Amino acid sequence: MRTIGLIGGMSWESSAEYYRLINQGIRARRGPTASASCLLWSFDFAEIEALQHRGDWDGLAAMLVQAARRLEGAGADMLLLCTNTMHRVAPAITSAVSIPLLHIADPTAERIRAAGLRTVGLLGTAFTMEQDFYRGRLSERHGLEVIVPDATDRATVHRVIYEELVAGTVAPASRAAYRAIIARMVEAGAEAIVLGCTEIMLLVRPEDSAVPLFDTTAIHAEAAIDRALGGAEDRVPSAARPGYRAREGE
């Protein structure tokens, strides 16, 4: 089994889900006493959030590069960045280490394409929805058409993430707001919805959408399991396996 290096704490709410999903997946494949070989570097998200909203991406890149190098030095065979937004600095990480970084957008896009879908609605932080580092990878590398909410809805999605979900708050009113935003993206032509923030799966459920939901947290974790075990599943499109956003054990 290869050792997975997790760069987490952004927020710890979703990092805990990564740890649970990866270990449940290893147990399901290897037996009841099996668990993942993994290392976790967990940031103080208050520091990360402050730099994000100041636009200090160089400072953030330096912090994440340092974490990646420490995980590599501790014996990690691969890296997972347990957040969608911070893939904004993924190129800096990949150029600083010799072990692979499994980009969260790639297995997500592969699963969408394998399901025969091409037009997706993207939910995430304002950085993820508005900047090109994520949307561009989905469209240019994977040929997907990406729809994002309008400015008012983007502000709502972003606020709920930073004011509620990263603090572990799941509010019925926010679920209703997300449900309405999803419906508007479906009306605009979205064939599926990408939950492009690793906390959104805490709030949104399959019944909240008329089209399939692609949970990037669950998909990313499953791809890491495939890589860690190094089996034939590395070569099987994720959509060939059950569930659009199902989490192991549910």
Residue 94 annotated as catalytic: no
Which residue is catalytic, options 38, 85, 125, 197? 197
Residue 152 annotated as catalytic: no
CA distances from 205 to 22, 55, 211, 214 (A): 20, 31, 11, 10
Which residue is catalytic, options 82, 83, 108, 125? 83
Active-site residues, by number, are 83, 197
